[in-house]
Chains A and B, each alone.
Chain A
C-alpha cells in the first residue's frame, strides 16, 4: 500500500462547478499535511496547509480527518485557471522526509 494515495483522475468539470479530492495516508503518526498544485512541466507550489480544525482560503477549503486518515480539498466556483495537478503531501515530523501523493489531475472546461 502506498504511504499517500490519491485518485489520479482526471477530473473534468465545467467552469463554476464544485469539485472535491480526497487523499489517504497510511502512517497514523503523520503530523503535517499540505496541498500543492503543479502546472504542467512546472514546479509544485504550496496551495495551503491543512489544519486539524479545517481551513479555508477563498474558494479553497481543506479538511483533515485523523481518525480515518484522510485529507480533502474542496474547490468552489472553479475557474479555468484551476486546471492543474493537485498534490497531497504528508510529513511525519519536522525532521523527516516529506511524502508526496502522485497527484490528482483536474481539468476545467469552459
Chain B
C-alpha cells in the first residue's frame, strides 16, 4: 500500500503565476487535509476535504487559494497569482474511512518557491 503521494516535490514559480499542488491519499482514504509550513514555523491547517466536499476551509486565505478533491483523481491545491509570501512547504495528509478518523498520514510535501 503506497503512502500519501504528493507532486511535484519541488515547484518554482514566478510572482503572478499559478501553482497547482497534487495529493493522492492512501488507498482506502477519502479524507484529505492540506497544511502549510513556513520556514522555522509550525504546520498551519488550511482545508479539510472529503470526496467532492469541502468540510472545513477555515484555514484557507480568502483570496487566490482554492482546493478540490474530485470523485476521481487526486486532491488539488491551487494558488493563483503567487506572491513571495506563498513560498512554503505544503503538506497533504489523509485519514481512513473507517476506524480512527483522527490518525493522519502525511505525504512528503511540496516545496514551493516563488521568485
Contacts and interface: CB of A to CB of B under 8 A. Distances in A.
Partners in one complex: yes
Interface of A: 32, 34, 41-46, 49, 87, 91, 94-103
A43 B91 contact: yes
Interface string B12-23: 000000000000
Contacts of A102: 41-42
Interface in B15-73: 33, 35, 41-45, 48, 55-56, 58-59
Nearest to A31: B102
A104 B104 CA distance: 20
A101 B45 CA distance: 11
Interface string B78-115: 00000000000101000000001111111111000000
B42 A87 contact: yes
A94 B109 contact: no
B13 to A, nearest CB: 20
B59 to A, nearest CB: 6
Contact of B45 (A87, A94, A100): A100
B106 A45 contact: yes
B12 to A, nearest CB: 17
Given A43-B108, A46-B103, A49-B102, A97 B43 contact: no
A91 B102 contact: yes
Contacts of B44: 100
B42 A103 contact: yes
B101 A44 contact: no
B42 A101 contact: yes
